[in-house]
Amino acid sequence: SPTTEQMRDDVATLARTVQQVLASSKADSVQVQPANRLNLGEIAQKVVAQQGPLAYQRGVDLHFIEPPAPVYAMGDEDASQLALTNLIENAIAHGGQGTVEIEVKTDGSVSVSDQGSGLTDEQQQQIFEPFWRAEDAPEGGSGLGLAIVKRLQEAQNGRVTVRSTPGKGSVFTLIY
């Protein structure tokens, strides 16, 4: 019934918000040790596989570009997985139907590209602020995902960048 469907949507939104709050608290406990060498290709492959069903459900094709050789970076595995998961989920939700490309680059970065409507220069300046949402954002989000990605990357002594062109999509890059 419509009431049951609305309740399911509300519970899914609540569950997502709780996941985001838990992910945010993870940033406070991240400690990168010299021995914390991550294989970025393995992490990306795992996250892409986990996001496959959501992408399929939304009519999005995930395309993973593996590096020619293992790419290692200093970081925290859980934090890296959370950050990449948030970027891919955002690309699926906001990038429209088409292809979301995830690429592990030999320079120790991971990029997520979509074919969505893109972002203006002003939006690119605001997008990593907590609770910021575009006016045309789909229902159900809280505006926390990209702020959490930023916090997780900073906790690992890294950063996240965005490059976007209105009408042509966006590229988010995790830099370690």
* Residue-wise pLDDT tens digits, 67-99: 999 999 999 998 999 999 999 999 998 888 899
Q: pLDDT > 90: what percent of the chain?
A: 61
Banded model confidence at residue 133, pLDDT cuts 50, 70, 90: confident
- Bin 98: left if φ > 0, else alpha if -120 < ψ < 50, else beta: left
Radius of gyration of the chain (CA): 16
Distance of CA 170 to the CA centre of its chain: 12
Q: Residue 91 in contact with residue 110, Cβ under 8 Å? A: no
pLDDT at 130: 87
The residue that leads in pLDDT, 6 or 100, is 100
Say how many C-beta atoms besides its own lie within 10 A of residue 5's C-beta: 9
- pTM score: 0.83
Short-list 29, 105, 73, CA closest to 176:
73
Q: Exposure pattern of 121-139 as b/e (b: 16+ CB <10 Å)?
A: eebeeebbeeeeeeeeeee
Q: Is the model's pLDDT at 136 over the cut of 90?
A: no
